[in-house]
Amino acid sequence: MKGLTLRHLSKTYFDPYSGTRVDAIHDVSLQVEAGEFVSVVGPSGCGKTTILNMIAGFLPHSGGDILVGGKPVKGPGPDRGVVFQSFALFPWKTVLDNVAFGPKMRGVARAEREKIAREYLAIAGLSEAAGRYPSELSGGMQQRVGVVRALANDPDVLLMDEPFASVDAQTRMTLQEELTRIWAEKRNTVLFITHDVGEAVFLADRVVVLTKGRVLDEIKVGLPRPRKWDDANKDPEFQRLSAQVLEKVRAA
Amino acid sequence: MILVWKIWGAYVRLTARFPSVATLMPFVPVVGLWALVAHLELFPKVFFPSPLDVWRSFIDLTWKGILPDYLQDSVVRLAVGAAWGMALGIPLGVLIGMNRIAYRALWPVLLFLQAIGDIAWLPILVIWFGYGLVTMTFVIVYTVLFPVVLNTVLGVRSVPPVLARAAQSLGAGRWSVVWEVILPGALPNIITGLRNGLGYGWRALIAAEIIVGTSGIGFLMFDARRAGSVVEIFLGMIILGILWYIVDSWVLAPIERTTGQRWGLVTR
């Protein structure tokens, strides 16, 4: 397990329509410790997805450093697993082959990588779906596969880009509870992007509030784990933290 | 009325058990009408033979071995041409679809060459290569190539970029992205291109055989015209239709069922 460091990270676009330079991210510094779960929350347009895309290596950054375990990142790589809002499962691969894809790229033999994939599918309660194609699953099931596919590759850092934004509210709560349970087992370093304040607090050890490409504030979340929505909703500490984060986001 | 429904129900059950019935049944009235028109001799018999005459000619030519030889010649030419068309077209399509420089350099040339239709090449090809296999193969490869390239480009560009990103962040390199993401994602379009290409190629082949051929179904038909044998011309036309139906339903449709449709990329 490794930590993630952002040092004076910035991103400047050239906008060909207006002919001007646009500063999307100004000087963001952030440390995610090894095995820590950090949520980044902010209004739309605050640059949170841009930051994630730079960490994942999908976009080049304009200034500053992105370090995983002290090493600068160059382009996309398997040390940073990504869970996408649109799931991004391979439609032509079965659930099992989707999950086994990372190990396959590492050169793990078929029998061994399928064993790994089945283990992870079992953790998420997806064993029955192993032979099915993504289009045959519900949205909630598809994103379970998306999470498990990233985890099965054993990344140093797990990057999650509003992964539960496109599933229905009830399924979302179930998925959030499952994520805290699975995370409690694996203890990956996680950076979780969301615009949902309740989700950010419920999942994380620490919530970072982002605004207009800057870090506005950080709030520690000391709630006991594993977390359940039934408990959280009654917990005055959860409510206090949520209110505090919401206030920051609205001020943003 | 109830009787009609009962007969219809029995027919539907029959086609469920024997799918070939559903294929053949629509031709029963067509052949029946043909037989009737021929029987009434609305046209002189030499110009409009009956189904039975064509059937006799089929048996006769099969017995003499001419038909199987010609059929084989045509099918092999199409298969070889299609194989070359795919072998050249798919990689070229992937290159143009993925690489902006290749797109800029090649796309206008492709559109230009596509406009010079297949048999428009025949005059110059006959001068270069004479009346023979090279000329015919060139025409088929040329005809198959463009639909395959254009549809492959379209398919490559329709693959959501997020899938390539997902593959990269799971450790896939450039070639793995092409092999595991771009090609399967483009496959439904590639098959569409192949289907169009084979259809055009089949027609171009017959045209080429008529003009430059010394064997094959197209040659059979044109040779029959020289001999004034309308029966054999009819036979040739029917064989063209049947052969295409076989290629489509035995080769192309099963590929589509097990790929794009199974994956939910194409609606049934």
ipTM for the complex shown:
0.91
The type of residue at A134 is: P
Maximum average pLDDT range among B14-23, B50-59, B251-260: B50-59
Q: Is residue B236 part of a domain?
A: yes
- Asked whether residue A11 falls in the same domain as residue A98, the answer is no
Mean pLDDT of B60-72: 86
- Asked whether residue A220 falls in the same domain as residue A242, the answer is yes
CB-CB: which of A91, A92, A105 is closest to B170? A105
| pLDDT of residue B223 exceeding 90 | no
Count of CA atoms in the C-beta half-sphere (13 A) of B58:
13
- Asked whether residue B157 falls in the same domain as residue B227, the answer is yes
- Asked whether residue A54 falls in the same domain as residue A68, the answer is yes
Q: Is residue B106 part of a domain?
A: yes
Q: What confidence tier does A123 reach under pLDDT thresholds 50, 70, 90?
A: confident
pLDDT for the residue numbered A242: 93
**For residue A155, cis peptide bond before it (omega within 30 degrees of 0):** no
Q: Is residue A85 part of a domain?
A: no
The model's pLDDT over B88-146, given as tens digits with 9 standing for 90+, comes to: 999 999 999 999 999 999 988 888 888 887 778 888 888 898 888 888 888 889 999 99
Mean pLDDT of B198-217: 86
User: B157: domain CATH number?
Assistant: 1.10.3720.10
Residue B29: domain span: 2-40
| pLDDT of residue B257 exceeding 70 | yes
Q: What confidence tier does A8 reach under pLDDT thresholds 50, 70, 90?
A: very high
CA B168 to chain A, closest CA, distance in angstroms equals 6
Cβ(A210)–Cβ(A251) under 8 Å? Answer: no
Q: By CA distance, what is B177's nearest residue in A?
A: A105
Q: Is residue B46 part of a domain?
A: no
Q: What confidence tier does B12 reach under pLDDT thresholds 50, 70, 90?
A: confident
- Asked whether residue A166 falls in the same domain as residue A233, the answer is yes
A7 CB-contact burial (10 Å; exposed 0-12 / middle 13-18 / buried 19+): middle
Q: By CA distance, what is B181's nearest residue in A?
A: A90
| DSSP bridge partners of B259 | none
Residue A166: domain span: 4-79+155-251
The model's pLDDT over A150-194, given as tens digits with 9 standing for 90+, comes to: 999 999 999 999 999 988 889 999 999 999 988 888 889 999 999
- Answer whether A86 touches B (CB < 8 Å): yes
| pLDDT of residue B267 exceeding 70 | no
- C-alpha–C-alpha distance, residues A2 and A251, integer Å: 33
Size of the A and B interface in Cβ pairs below 8 Å: 75
- Asked whether residue A164 falls in the same domain as residue A246, the answer is yes
Mean pLDDT of A32-44: 92
CA A232 to chain B, closest CA, distance in angstroms equals 33
Q: Is residue B239 part of a domain?
A: yes
| Contact check, Cβ <8 Å, B162/A88 | yes
| pLDDT of residue B234 exceeding 90 | no
- Asked whether residue B197 falls in the same domain as residue B92, the answer is yes
DSSP three-state, residue A155: coil
Q: Is residue A84 part of a domain?
A: no
- Asked whether residue A204 falls in the same domain as residue A129, the answer is no
| pLDDT of residue B17 exceeding 90 | no
Long-range contacts of A213-218 (CB under 8 A, 24+ apart): A213/A10, A213/A11, A213/A23, A213/A24, A213/A25, A213/A26, A213/A28, A213/A46, A213/A47, A214/A26, A214/A27, A214/A28, A215/A28, A215/A29, A215/A30, A216/A42, A216/A248, A216/A251, A216/A252, A217/A248
Q: Is residue B31 part of a domain?
A: yes
Q: Is residue A67 part of a domain?
A: yes
- Asked whether residue B91 falls in the same domain as residue B224, the answer is yes
User: A41: domain CATH number?
Assistant: 3.40.50.300
Q: Is residue A236 part of a domain?
A: yes
Contacts of B160 in chain A (CB under 8 A): 86, 88
The model's pLDDT over A61-76, given as tens digits with 9 standing for 90+, comes to: 998 899 999 899 989 9
Q: Is residue A179 part of a domain?
A: yes
Q: Is residue B208 part of a domain?
A: yes
- Answer whether A107 touches B (CB < 8 Å): no
- Asked whether residue B126 falls in the same domain as residue B159, the answer is yes
- Asked whether residue B33 falls in the same domain as residue B133, the answer is no
In 3D space, the residue among A193, A177, A105 whose CA is nearest the CA of residue A144 turns out to be A177
- Asked whether residue B19 falls in the same domain as residue B94, the answer is no
pLDDT for the residue numbered B268: 57
- Asked whether residue A66 falls in the same domain as residue A146, the answer is no
- Asked whether residue A108 falls in the same domain as residue A206, the answer is no
Residues whose CB falls within 8 Å of the CB of residue B249, separated by 6 or more in sequence, listed in order = B23
Mean pLDDT, rounded, of chain A: 91
Domain count, chain B: 2
- Asked whether residue B30 falls in the same domain as residue B111, the answer is no
CA A11 to chain B, closest CA, distance in angstroms equals 20
DSSP B172: -
CA B98 to chain A, closest CA, distance in angstroms equals 17
Q: Is residue B45 part of a domain?
A: no
- Asked whether residue B61 falls in the same domain as residue B164, the answer is yes
- Asked whether residue B17 falls in the same domain as residue B60, the answer is no
Last residue in a domain, options A154, A170, A192:
A154
Q: By CA distance, what is B261's nearest residue in A?
A: A92
A10 CB-contact burial (10 Å; exposed 0-12 / middle 13-18 / buried 19+): middle
